[in-house]
Chains A and B, each alone.
Chain A
Amino acid sequence: MDQVNKNMSSNSTRKLSFSVLTDKDMQQRILAFASLIVLLLFFSIASPHFMQMSNIIAILQATSVNGVLAIAATLIIITGGIDLSVGTLMTFTAVMAGVVLTNIGMPLPFGVAAAILSGALCGLCSGTLVAKMKLPPFIATLGMMLILKGASLVISGTRPIYFNDTPGFDQISRGSFIGDLIPAFPIPNGVVILFVVAGVTAFILSKTVLGRYTFSIGSNEEAVRLSGVNVDMWKMAIYSLAGAICGIAGLLIASRLNSAQPALGLGYELEAIAAVVIGGTSLSGGRGTILGTLIGALVMAVLTNGLRVLSVAQEWQTVVTGAIIILAVYADIVRKKKVN
């Protein structure tokens, strides 16, 4: 009799909790996804040029750099931190690739390694500042942002480094091996790289210890520490991984411009954070998805592109982007209130 009662009550809770769980996870994604669809519909009705293949490719191409940076920012934000240095770190890694390939003249793989390793190393620096020296992430990465901006200018002598001597470098982002196979879909490699980075990172977040600790630390750092986990070490690992991903973004942008532009980079961190936020990742940590971030980055790119197609003046594009960010986060707050 008692057993029966128990079973019954547990069944009813199961139903209830299942719907709550699904709601939370799904709504977060659906909201971002719905706004993406709405934007796409709006622009394709407003302009016949918008839905053309060439324009869609342009949008995806524009998403690739910001998307990869936003994935790096997502990792840090899930731990409950913030990373202001992703933009200038991207530039720094591009410059490092330039030094190795153009100034030293080594072959292509060394340039790729230089960008990714220097990114990971800088990430490790930020991670050490945050985990070991207990600096607030905002301050630590603000400092790193400025240091890296300056370092890029110093190392490059404030001049762009071109990759004309490294054949194939521009193909990293601009080439299209899919287009070579299926000419109807000339999807640039940069976009493929974005999706690969997204897939791998999503896998790390959901299937590895590192990922589990990323969420745990963001959810309750002290509880994780008191569980005997070496929180400092894992935090440094997460920052290093984010740094390495910024290195990939550095390669993408350098390849697209076929040069490392040392003055570039500032402002990218905010676009990345905006994409993360639109994607529904909580700035207070513990929750977030790579898929959400991808959609967030696409929303940003569609918006910029669509407004340009409609010949809206650039200064107005910025205003609209800002308004969309506020709207997206507000919608998220309203949704959370309703769930509670």
Chain B
Amino acid sequence: MSFLVEMIEIHKYFPGVHALKGVSFDLAEGEVHALMGENGAGKSTLMKILSGLYQPDGGELKILGTSTKLNGPKEAQALGIGIIHQELSLMNDLTVAQNVFIGREPRHSFGVLNEAELNRKTTEIFSSMNLHLDPETIVGTLTIAKQQMVEIAKALSYESRVLVMDEPTAALNDVEIFELFDIIRKLKLKGVGIVYISHKMDEIKEISDRVTIMRDGEYIDTVDSKKTALGTIISMMVGREIQQTVFNVPDTSMNELALEVKHLNRGKYIRDVSFSVNRGEILGFAGLMGAGRTEVARAIFGADPKDSGEIKVFGKTVEINSPNDAVRVGIGYLSEDRKHFGLALGMDITSNISLASMKNFTNTAGLLDESVMKKTAQSYVEQLGIRTPSTNQEVGLLSGGNQQKVVIAKWLLRDCNILIFDEPTRGIDIGAKSEIYQLLEELAAEGRTIIVISSELPEIMRVSHRIAVMCEGALIGILKGGSEVNQEAIMKLATERPSPIHSLGA
């Protein structure tokens, strides 16, 4: 076997984080090498080093057997390394051919474009991929799958011998995945090496030759995909220490039903999701990125339209078509992206906390009672322990944990009894994290109903009374939380694609 790429003992540091701790990875000619790990394991960082976006802080990178230092994506391209990002980076209004050769358009003299040559060259690449596609088609009119093919063609046009595919099937349906795999097999025959990043176990089994597993920036092992049992790979991915403290789940099964969701549907994002949560209960939502957890939350909250489904709040069927409706029945949503969807960063703490409850502070003449507003904000600052010099502080200047507390205060003030937390500790340091967890427990103990969405399994296991696991828009199963649950059980459900028979039948 001759290696196209060898990465040996690679280290990478970011401010405060040791992101890669001596990771090794190699790629042979004509091989599909899968790279697996949980969110945040360091896969993307490693691939950014391979594509020249990051420079390693230690270790060696060999390309075609020679030690190399890549000073940017251009140099990586020149050495035949192409990367296809999860979010496609095509210009929708240009043709397929114009996209493939963007920045390297064949020209006549005086800078006049040679469109004929452009289309001819593109057709050449397509035929080498056995792909039938008119080079003059506008990219925006193609399906996501076809756009992905165009990305691959673009990568190949650089005469790439190494292709990195970052979750290429995330947006594809079964037929399209089949087409993609067909192309991958053809590329293999031509000797192209492919790094395949995916969370989906069945795909790894089907398309890859070897799997390298990473966890928390560390290299775990490289194994043969066909010969290794799925369970072994999963336990290598999650093999973290079990929780230090055993978490006692309070019994809330006798409490009244707070929220019932029945047969919720929205396109391919949410497929027939049904569940219920009791008063005082914390229901965790686990799943990999793109599993549809946020979509479910947004649909319940009325932030996105839903196709069908019934929502009951404390036994009463409610019609929720906008966040306004949701708030009225006592549902609050704390977005994963606080900066875009949760806070007005340029405004002060007082304004942000009162944003959803302005009516409380308005007299009959429509004037705001600034002093009551400030006092209320101050009481929440004390109650939640928001660390700030004053309630006049601009929210943008607070730390992530304190910003999150401001959002929580906003919903507590609005008196929302059902709170949906989407990635409540994203971008929050470890100390503040445990504070947020404690806060969640206190809120539940007060009788509020909590839904927590998180991509971090330890977090889900730390706070959830029950754990709902989603994959590809469907709710696969609900597990009991506390000491009975383990990461392997969750991961198994999270990678279990809803069976085609089930989705056909639905």
Binding site for B on A (CB under 8 A): 6, 10-11, 13-14, 17-18, 20-21, 207-210, 212-213, 215-216, 219-220, 222-230, 286-287
A207 contact set on B, CB distance < 8 A: 367-368, 370
Interface mask (B295-308 → A, CB under 8 Å = 1, otherwise 0): 00000010100000
Interface mask (B16-48 → A, CB under 8 Å = 1, otherwise 0): 000000000000000000000000000000000
B347 within 8 A of A: yes
Number of interface residues of B (CB under 8 A): 38
Once the chains bind, are B344 and A226 in contact (CB under 8 Å)? no
Once the chains bind, are B390 and A219 in contact (CB under 8 Å)? no
A286 contact set on B, CB distance < 8 A: 344, 346-347
Interface mask (B305-320 → A, CB under 8 Å = 1, otherwise 0): 0000000000000000
Which of B103-111, B256-264, B355-363 has 4 or more CB atoms under 8 Å from chain A? B355-363
Once the chains bind, are B345 and A220 in contact (CB under 8 Å)? yes
- Contact A219 B301, CB 8 Å, known A212-B358, A226-B333: no
Out of B327, B344, B389, B397, name the residue touching A220 (CB < 8 Å).
Answer: B344
- Contact A226 B394, CB 8 Å, known A210-B366, A216-B351: no
B326 contact set on A, CB distance < 8 A: 228
Q: Determine the distance from Cα of A212 to Cα of B367 in the docked complex, in whole angstroms.
A: 10
B410 to chain A, nearest CB (A): 7
**In chain B, residues 317-354, which have Cβ atoms closer than 8 Å to a Cβ of chain A?**
322-324, 326-328, 333, 335, 340-347, 351
Out of B303, B333, B341, B344, name the residue touching A219 (CB < 8 Å).
Answer: B344
Q: Determine the distance from Cα of A18 to Cα of B356 in the docked complex, in whole angstroms.
A: 27
A-B contact list, 5 entries, CB within 8 Å: A11-B389, A215-B344, A220-B343, A228-B326, A228-B356
Out of A10, A222, A227, name the residue touching B340 (CB < 8 Å).
Answer: A222
A223 contact set on B, CB distance < 8 A: 340-344, 355
Q: Determine the distance from Cα of A284 to Cα of B346 in the docked complex, in whole angstroms.
A: 12
Out of A13, A17, A222, name the residue touching B341 (CB < 8 Å).
Answer: A222
Out of B327, B343, B390, name the residue touching A228 (CB < 8 Å).
Answer: B327
Interface mask (B357-383 → A, CB under 8 Å = 1, otherwise 0): 011001000111010000000000000
A230 contact set on B, CB distance < 8 A: 322, 324
Out of A6, A21, A216, name the residue touching B344 (CB < 8 Å).
Answer: A216
Q: Determine the distance from Cα of A227 to Cα of B334 in the docked complex, in whole angstroms.
A: 9
Sorted from nearest, which 5 A-B pairs have the closest CB atoms?
Answer: A228-B327, A14-B389, A219-B344, A227-B356, A220-B344
Q: Determine the distance from Cα of A20 to Cα of B388 in the docked complex, in whole angstroms.
A: 14
Once the chains bind, are B346 and A21 in contact (CB under 8 Å)? no
A209 contact set on B, CB distance < 8 A: 358-359, 362, 366, 368
A225 contact set on B, CB distance < 8 A: 303, 322-323
Out of A20, A21, A226, name the residue touching B303 (CB < 8 Å).
Answer: A226
Once the chains bind, are A208 and B368 in contact (CB under 8 Å)? yes
B362 contact set on A, CB distance < 8 A: 208-209
B489 to chain A, nearest CB (A): 33
A94 to chain B, nearest CB (A): 29
B342 contact set on A, CB distance < 8 A: 223, 226
B387 within 8 A of A: yes
B390 contact set on A, CB distance < 8 A: 14
A232 to chain B, nearest CB (A): 9
B215 within 8 A of A: no
Q: Determine the distance from Cα of A225 to Cα of B335 in the docked complex, in whole angstroms.
A: 12
Once the chains bind, are B356 and A229 in contact (CB under 8 Å)? yes
Q: Determine the distance from Cα of A227 to Cα of B356 in the docked complex, in whole angstroms.
A: 5
A6 contact set on B, CB distance < 8 A: 387
Once the chains bind, are B346 and A219 in contact (CB under 8 Å)? yes
Q: Determine the distance from Cα of A135 to Cα of B37 in the docked complex, in whole angstroms.
A: 44
Out of B324, B355, B367, name the residue touching A216 (CB < 8 Å).
Answer: B355
Q: Determine the distance from Cα of A223 to Cα of B403 in the docked complex, in whole angstroms.
A: 13
Q: Determine the distance from Cα of A115 to Cα of B394 in the docked complex, in whole angstroms.
A: 40
Q: A212-B351, A216-B344, A223-B355 are in contact. List 19 more A-B contacts (CB 8 A).
A: A10-B387, A13-B389, A14-B389, A17-B389, A208-B362, A208-B367, A209-B362, A215-B344, A222-B340, A222-B341, A223-B341, A225-B322, A226-B301, A226-B335, A226-B341, A227-B327, A227-B356, A228-B327, A228-B414
Once the chains bind, are B347 and A226 in contact (CB under 8 Å)? no
- Contact A212 B397, CB 8 Å, known A220-B343, A223-B341, A228-B414: no
Closest residue to B350 on the A side, CB-wise? A212
